[in-house]
Chains A and B, each alone.
Chain A
């Protein structure tokens, strides 16, 4: 594979929920444009913590200190800098959570939400964007006749695709997914995996997953984390067939220890 241009880059990032304990340490990780990068590793190793640095989610919970940088390209701005407004970061970096979390509003209003928040009022634009995002998320055919009914009535898999559509509507540069299929059945999961392959044409994706097959199938690059350290990063083919590190091999073969 030819070297692609970078969409983002983690540089020497350390972060902890309290000053004394660093949950992730000195992470260096490139995120290539229009690819899917998977973050894998045992529970508690800091995958979600790292992911939530990318949209400054940690800022919601009091004074936090990020050490190191996450550069977003092509602007080449360190989005962790205290001079950067976290809201502007979240305008560029979308996120889909582990548990589908539609707002208690209609399907239409769920997707329009991100646009309204950005002050967009033009009705025709919002209509188009809602349709477009639902199509991208593969949900349009199922919901086009009931856009103005409650999103809570959708199935779990549909709700998760709605959340993906909601994030896509705002045209993020980078889309973060934290175990997006762990609450879903195999069919919904397969649906979302297909979707990712399609989506990466227009957006760069960083995804946490516990499902190694999913990482191998859908991700172009895979990063393995262990106890807060990034152990190995490389093309998924290489990580899953020919890992360089012993710990990576132990993890992907299920021999842990």
Chain B
């Protein structure tokens, strides 16, 4: 016998509705928790950071050219730390973006399945090496090596820290880029090759542009990693805040400053203590801005493709 439509008040119907509701609530809670945690982090940061500006004016904060919060005559020029952060990030990206993209093109378009099976785990190993190890690698191996070519290079410098950081980020960029390229439908690849295009032309004129929104995400992740990286710069770039973009000198990033002062014991509530949160907030702001830019690029590209 076929079943008819059930009575909306029947037990079976009720039970199913309650179950659906339960599942939906659990899923919602999981999704909401990550949002809540993000807000929690932002709130903790701002709670300590905002009182800082009762003691230090915005003008000093933005335009002072020194950052010496723990000295007798404290200066709070955040731009010193910002310049150090942007400099090391920029150096890292000049390594990670080209090499990561080329690696992805090779993995996705050129190499055989066998080679890929070997290469990918090796590449992922680059991301598995602890960052302290990278830090000492930069300080004790890369810097001396570079000093042979550039005698002026300081023993703590932005250049080798940035370069090593770049190598560290390659797998993040390459693996997401490769996924995006492999997701490009096969009929576009065949369409290009059928017109007599070489693999190289197909990769860079059709596949990369088609995968652009995914590739943009990969780059944004790379940028976020570079901005937030701490150990390598703390160890190899020195701990000297400096308003300069000279890669040969030592410098200090926002993150490196945070670990540096966190290791001393600053009294809670003191202005030095608050600077930690201020630096953290600025860092968060940068990551946020880059993520938003990435999202804008992505949605623009997606709109264009439609």
* B187/A97 in contact, CB under 8 A: yes
Kindly provide the distance from the CB of A138 to the nearest chain B CB, expressed in whole angstroms. Answer: 20
Query: In the assembled complex, how far is the CB of residue A182 from the closest CB belonging to chain B, in whole angstroms?
Result: 14
Minimum CB distance partner of A113 in chain B: B195
- Taking CB atoms, residues of chain A closer than 8 Å to B281 are none
Contacts of B192 in A (CB 8 A): 103, 113, 117
Q: Which residues of B contact A104 (CB under 8 A)?
A: 188, 209-210, 304-305
Please tell me which one of the listed residues A60, A62, A167 contacts residue B195 in the complex, with CB atoms under 8 A apart.
A167
| Chain B proximity mask over A71-85: 1 for CB below 8 Å, otherwise 0 | 000000000000000
User: Which one, A13-21, A87-95, A139-147, A243-251, is touching chain B?
Assistant: A87-95
Do residues B209 and A170 form an inter-chain contact, with CB atoms below 8 A?
A: no
Q: Which residue from B187, B196, B209, B306 sits with its C-beta under 8 Å from A90?
A: B196
Residue numbers in B under 8 Å from A4 (CB-CB) = none
Determine whether A101 belongs to the interface, using a CB cutoff of 8 Å to chain B. Answer: yes
With a 10 A CB-CB cut-off, give which of A103, A114, A152, A153 has the most chain B CB atoms.
A103
Instruction: Give the size category of A's interface with B.
Output: 20 to 34
B15 at the interface (CB under 8 A from A): no
A24 and B70 CA atoms in complex are apart in Å by: 81
Structural contact, B188 and A103, CB atoms closer than 8 A: yes
Within the complex, which residue of B112, B190, B194, B206 is in contact with A94, where a contact is CB–CB below 8 Å?
A: B194
Contacting residues, chain A, for B196 (C-beta < 8 A): 87-88, 90-91, 114, 117-118, 170
Nearest-Cβ distance from residue A61 to partner chain B, whole angstroms: 10
Minimal Cβ-Cβ distance residue in A for B191 = A101
- Across-interface contacts of B60 in A (CB, < 8 A): none
Cβ of A47 within 8 Å of any chain B Cβ, yes or no, is no
A59 nearest in chain B by CB position: B193
B6 at the interface (CB under 8 A from A): no
Could you tell me if B194 and A117 are in contact, using CB atoms closer than 8 angstroms?
no
Interface segment out of the listed B32-40, B97-105, B146-154, B197-205: B197-205
Interface mask (A123-162 → B, CB under 8 Å = 1, otherwise 0): 0000000000000000000000000001011000000000
Nearest chain A residue, comparing its CB with the CB of B194: A95
Cα(A95)–Cα(B195), bound, Å: 7
Are A101 and B195 within 8 A (Cβ)?
no
B195 near A150: Cβ-Cβ < 8 Å: no
**Given A104-B209, A150-B304, A152-B306: A97 in contact with B193 (beta carbons within 8 A):** no
Interface centre among B197, B305, B306 (most CB of A within 10 A): B197
The contact sample of 5 A-B pairs, CB cut-off 8 A, is A57-B193, A105-B209, A114-B197, A117-B196, A170-B196
Q: Footprint of B on A, CB under 8 Å?
A: 55, 57, 60, 62, 87-88, 90-91, 94-95, 97, 99, 101, 103-105, 113-114, 116-118, 150, 152-153, 163, 166-167, 170
Q: Identify 11 new A-B residue pairs, CB closer than 8 A, beyond the known A118-B196, A152-B306.
A: A90-B193, A90-B195, A90-B196, A97-B187, A97-B194, A101-B188, A103-B192, A113-B192, A116-B205, A117-B192, A117-B196
